Structure 1
């Protein structure tokens, strides 16, 4: 059976033609490589998957500023997570 896994260049060409699944696959590949620059570029192109992956990373790091940036860039997951974190009551300051 032939390997039908598309390479990055093929995925990029398909994404440039408007294929959202190819854009999502590019985001998954960038995430697997830890390539935050590419994930941010994909977010700028409107890739919701990239926004989700970047949000997941920001939540894990506890980076509220990054969540705000992602929210401002249109990542709905980031907006929801930021609201969730900011609305969680905290204990009194010592």
Structure 2
């Protein structure tokens, strides 16, 4: 996807196009783009939160999981607890 296509998709998402949000979440997840996923999560995308939890869990990123848990993600809290229990 070109930078121009990505800009257009972000503009569509900002205008409330849920399909565009879903595409952005999928693309960001594939790229492991935590910044994009955080932005989308902060804008209310629960799918972005889910992908962040998954990626952070795979990487063992306790700081990210803690941040997500503190923001209210019970899934992040569960994954964080599992990681800490396995140590």
> Runs of 4 or more off by more than 4 Å in structure 1?
none
Change (3 A) 1:87 1:32: closer
2:53 aligned residue (52, 55, 71): 55
5+ residue gaps, structure 2: none
Q: How far is the alpha carbon of 1:76 from its aligned partner?
A: 4.2
Question: CA-atom RMSD, angstroms?
Answer: 2.5
Using the alignment, how far apart are the partners of 2:18 and 2:73 within structure 1?
16
- 1:8-23 paired onto structure 2 within 5 Å: 8-23=6-21
Alignment length (residue pairs): 83
5+ residue gaps, structure 1: 1-6
How does the TM-score come out when normalised to structure 1? 0.67
Hey, what does 1:31 align to over in structure 2?
29
**Larger proportion of helix:** 2
Using the alignment, how far apart are the partners of 1:26 and 1:57 within structure 2?
15
Using the alignment, how far apart are the partners of 1:33 and 1:61 within structure 2?
14
Contact 2:53 2:65 in 1 (8 A): yes
Structure label with greater radius of gyration = 1
